[in-house]
Amino acid sequence: MNIAELIESCAADEDIEFRNDYSGRCMYGKQCVGVVTDNLSKFLGFFAHLIREFDGDEEGTPRDANKINGVKEDSMGSQTIYYWPEIKPEEESNAKTNTEVCEASSEVHGGLH
């Protein structure tokens, strides 16, 4: 399991939305992984879970902890996305894409973005 998959798994365990297509400030269209929540305590619980799971992969190979130290955050109105610019998304991820989020928002808000 790579780091993006580990973040996705921990997000699912903690019932936090995982995104594999976020492009934050100064990323110039490059995409990375992130998690979205409206509650800092929920993010901290997720992050503690991530740290516990981070010890090593299935083969016992230690992971590079510096990868998860670089978390950034952006406000998304009533929610916050916490993202890792250095951790690239995986093609086979089950995360919501920007298109899916916009379509869901459009349905809820009657077509307004």
For the chain, what are the domain ranges? 3-108
Residue 67 clears pLDDT 80, i.e. is over it: no
Distances from the Cα of 1 to the Cαs of 41, 43, 55, 61, 90, in angstroms?
Answer: 26, 21, 12, 11, 11
Measured CA angle at 100 (ends 95, 106), to 5 deg: 145
Residue 93 clears pLDDT 50, i.e. is over it: no
Pairwise pLDDT comparison (106 vs 76), residue with the higher score: 76
> How does pLDDT run across 20-51, given as a tens digit for each residue?
999 988 889 899 999 999 999 999 999 999 98
Instruction: From 82, 6, 93, 69, select the one nearest 38 (Cα to Cα).
Output: 82
Residue 108 clears pLDDT 50, i.e. is over it: no
